[in-house]
Amino acid sequence: MISNAQKSISIFTNKDYYFCNMNIVQLIREAVADSIKNVYPESDNNLDFQINQTKPEFEGDYTIVLFSLVKALKKSPEMIGQEIGDSLIQKNPELFEAFNIIKGFLNLTITDAYWKSLLLKNHNDICFGKQAMNGKKVMVEYSSPNTNKPLHLGHLRNNFLGWSVAEILKASGYEVLKSCIVNDRGIHICKSMIAWQLYADGATPESTHKKGDHFVGDYYVKFNDVYKAQIAELVASGITEADAEKQAPIMQKTQQMLQDWEAGVPEVMQLWQKMNGWVYEGFDVTYKSIGSDFDKTYYESNTYLLGKDIVQEGLDKNVFHKKEDGSVWIDLTADGLDEKLVLRKDGTSVYITQDIGLAKQKYDEYKIDQSIYVIGDEQNYHMKVLKLIAQKLGLPYADDIYHLSYGMVELPTGKMKSREGTVVDADDLVAEMKATAQQHTETLGKVKDFEPNELIELYETIGLGAMKFYLLRVDPKKKMIFNPEESIDFHGFTGPFIQYTFARINSILRKESSFVAAPSNNTLLKLEKEVIYNLEQFGAIIMEAAKTLNPSVLANYLFHLSKSFNSFYTEHSIGNAESEDKKNLRIQISMMTANVLKNGMQLLGINVPNRM
RNA sequence: GGUUCGGUAGCUCAGCUGGAUAGAGCAUCAGCCUUCUAAGCUGAGGGUCAUUGGUUCGAAUCCAAUCCGAAUCACCA
């Protein structure tokens, strides 16, 4: 009958719990649950209680909110707090050193020993915070460009988000495949092809010294200019606008070209391949510069016929129905949606059908457990329909389709409109950010001894870091405002702020190459403890970011950690600490902070420089 | 009109699984570089958490209604 006590001792003393994979909140939760069980043997085993970080104005590290226990245990909060607090300290002296009760809040102080051993164990562990592989496979589809125009600011949010989410999932134990579906066919592609045919006079990216994607994009713009003029002309001659849109000669040529493409007319195919080739060359440069990469690229020209067999399957299962003209539909009105076309009367598949086909192909090919689509929130309806149709068809991967929906990027003046030339081009923005980084760096003059190639790399690191951080620091699902002035500010809640914190730590650590970590015997000062306290949360933050597919959780955390370290850095000397013991401890804090900042930024796709 | 999402400081955003006096950054103002990188640190001012009602020990957070904004509702992709 001593098993209970024995058990708790074996968990909390012998098994050196500091070093297990559990985070402090989980440890506290178990310890409190255990204490409740011991102090109130009659109580329900699954009592729920909340653990918060203790507010700075109170004494303590973590706080148990007692109100929820009051009803179940039929005692006053003060009484419960006292009894649980006594029990916690008595049973887990390694973990808890003090407590106080204010109103219904039990504030617990964690022992210095816990913090110091956490630090000693993990200060140089580059895997700190990461989870072991869990055997699950996830595909993250992102970027998804059209081959008729260059990438813009909106694509950048998509790319950074997709890349970061993939890395965060890897860090939390998933095997991740990054994929991309290239929208390389369709009427919009034919528009730039027609315009090139009519107006380019044989010009090429080489002959005009233009980047391929921009070159092709110019003809897409040209098409729209001509098209608009032709419509205006027709309307002026007394034709309705709707008819004018159909009758405009350039549009009719484009429609014809699409048909020729689908028929495989050689000249059209050749032109198509040539122009897409130009675009891909341009995209390669852009992707390389922003650090996007893919394990698998799908091309719509290969996938647009997919899904037809599924349509037959749906008809057999009576999930779809055929109308008199031969078109196939699904009725989703019972689910609060509309009737949706899945196959045209001419037998060709539509967008949604292709997507179902591609979803199947991904699943068959890679046996993935989850399929994440990074797509703008304008497609919420489409993705909802996609998943619903897959579910109604009883497809095995239906429930594993997840739309990571993100909000549009707008400018302070409103939405980006290509017509008004307010679209922020990705390449331009990257160049501008690098130039800003260069300008700031030169003004500060701290790296005058750098070689030219080192400087270029540094400007890239800082400029891209600023841009990525700026786009990732807000909750993906919310639309965001891109303020050009604010984005080139490198102070405060920015990527360069965190990079700078890292660089400063590095400059200290460079001088301590022979460092050997040792246990500390001193009590922790407030700012020392605060940094360790924040460091401890890294693993929990990664898990939170993975669970919610939200890199902004990480961005906020890294900023908070940097602030905390900077306060500590300003207040306490590290290299010239008051004692060897303190110096040793503070170097451990510095090393661990550097590791967490570096690894955390890596998960956002941002590098950190050793000097800046 | 239906559906979905949003409205928090002058601006940009956290906080939303209900908890203590709602937090950051920018901007404004006042301080801190002979000492480890001042892209830093310390402090001040700045709020009817859209509005109204409800739920309860307690609401920015949950519920309802209203107002405002956005997306979407194609034989386009």
Provide, rounded to the nearest whole percent, the portion of chain A with pLDDT above 70.
97
- The answer to whether residue A419 scores a pLDDT higher than 80 is no
Check if residue A474 sits with its Cβ under 7 angstroms from strand B.
yes
Residue whose Cα is closest to the C1' of B26: A486
What is the structure's pLDDT at A241? 85
Q: Is the dihedral of CA A10, A13, A15, A18 positive or negative?
A: positive
Q: Give the nucleotide nearest to A544 (CA→C1').
A: B17
Token pair belonging to A231: 């419509």
Strand B contact at CB of residue A49, distance < 7 A: no
- Which residue's entry shows tokens 């607090």? A85
User: A508: Cβ–Cβ under 8 A, 6 or more apart, which residues?
Assistant: A574, A575, A587, A590
Strand B proximity: list residues 65-94 of A with CB under 7 Å. 65, 67-68
A29 touches strand B (CB under 7 A): no
Distance A339 CA to B2 C1' (A): 13
Q: Is the pLDDT of residue A472 over 90?
A: yes
Whether the CB of A187 is less than 7 Å away from nucleic strand B comes out as yes
Tell the residue number behind the tokens 């749906």, with chain if given: A314
Gap from A344 CA to B75 C1', in Å? 5
* Unique residue bearing structure tokens 């004692």: A579
The predicted structure's pLDDT at residue A103: 87
CB atoms within 10 A of CB A292: 22
- A331 has which bridge partners? A339
Q: What is the spatial distance, in angstroms and rounded to an integer, between the CA atom of A292 and the C1' atom of B76?
A: 28
Q: Which of residues 523-582 of A touch strand B (CB under 7 A)?
A: 552-553, 556, 559, 562-563, 566-567, 569-576
Given pLDDT bands bounded at 50, 70 and 90, which one contains residue A5? very low
A438 touches strand B (CB under 7 A): no
- Stated in angstroms, how far is A336 CA from B64 C1'? 21
Q: Is A203 helix (H, G, I), strand (E, B) or coil?
A: coil
Encode A223-254: b = buried (16+ Cβ within 10 Å), e = exposed.
bbebbeebbeebeeeebeeeebeeebebbebb
Q: Which of residues 130-159 of A touch strand B (CB under 7 A)?
A: 146
**CA A570 to C1' B55, whole Å:** 48
Q: How confident is the model at residue A21 (pLDDT cuts 50, 70, 90)?
A: low
- Mean pLDDT of all residues in chain A? 92
| Band of residue A600 on the pLDDT scale cut at 50, 70, 90 | very high
User: Two tokens at A256?
Assistant: 């014809």
Q: First and final CA of chain A: distance in angstroms?
A: 63
Q: How far apart are CA A154 and CA A152, in angstroms?
A: 6
| DSSP class per residue in A506-543 | HHHHGGGTT-------SPPPHHHHHHHHHHHTHHHHHH
Q: Which residue has the tokens 């602030």?
A: A563
Assess whether A487 (CB) lies less than 7 A from strand B.
no
**Tens digit of pLDDT for each residue in A337-393?**
889 999 998 888 888 999 999 999 999 999 999 999 999 999 999 999 999 999 999
Distance from C-alpha of A538 to C-alpha of A23, rounded to nearest angstrom: 9
- Between CA A62 and C1' B17 the distance (Å) reads 18
Between CA A44 and CA A41 the distance in angstroms is: 8
Protein CA at A553 to nucleotide C1' at B65, angstroms: 34
| pLDDT in the model for residue A222 | 93
Report residues 204-233 of A contacting strand B, contact meaning Cβ closer than 7 Å: none
A346 touches strand B (CB under 7 A): yes
Q: What is the nearest nucleotide to A483, using C1' and CA?
A: B12
Cβ A353 to strand B below 7 Å? no
Strand B lies under 7 A from the Cβ of residue A48:
no
Give the DSSP letter string of A206-233. HHHT--HHHHHHHHHHHHHHHHHHHHHH
Q: Could you say which DSSP state residue A321 is in?
A: E
> Residue A308 above 90 pLDDT?
no
Assigned token pair, A575: 């290299």
Residue A102 approaches strand B within 7 Å at CB: yes
Instruction: Say yes or no to pLDDT of A116 above 80.
Output: yes
Contact flag, residue A307 CB and nucleic strand B, below 7 A: no
Is residue A121 predicted with pLDDT exceeding 80?
yes
Residue-level pLDDT at A584? 96
A207-224 pLDDT, tens digit each = 999 999 999 999 999 999
Q: Are A253 and A194 in contact (CB under 8 A)?
A: yes
A74 CA to B54 C1' in angstroms comes to 28
Cβ within 7 Å of strand B: which of A 246-305?
A: 300, 304
Calculated CA dihedral for residues A328, A333, A335, A337, nearest 10 degrees: 80
Q: Does residue A391 lie within 7 Å of nucleic acid chain B, judged by its CB?
A: no
> Is the pLDDT confidence value at A321 over 50?
yes
By percentage, how much of chain A surpasses pLDDT 90? 84
Here the ipTM equals: 0.97
* Residue A465 approaches strand B within 7 Å at CB: no
pLDDT at A54 over 90: yes
Whether the beta carbon of A457 falls within 7 A of nucleic chain B: the reply is no
Task: Determine if strand B comes within 7 Å of the CB of A402.
Answer: no
Nucleotides of B under 7 A from a protein CB: 2-6, 11-15, 19-21, 24-27, 35-42, 57-58, 70-77
Strand B–CB A336 distance below 7 A: yes
CB of residue A435 closer than 7 A to nucleic acid strand B? no
Q: How far is residue A87's CA from residue A108's CA, in Å, rounded to a whole number?
A: 12
Kindly give, in sequence order, each residue whose CB lies less than 8 Å from that of residue A87, ignoring residues fewer than 6 positions away. A35, A38, A39
Distance CA A56 to C1' B22 in A: 14
- Residue with CA nearest B13 C1'? A474
State how far the Cα of A490 lies from the Cα of A469, in Å rounded to an integer. 11
Of A12-26, A247-261, A305-319, A524-538, least confident by mean pLDDT is A12-26
Q: Which two tokens stand for residue A510?
A: 């460079």
CA of A167 to C1' of B21 (A): 39
pTM attached to this predicted model: 0.94
Q: Which residue is nearest to nucleotide B70 (CA to C1')?
A: A479
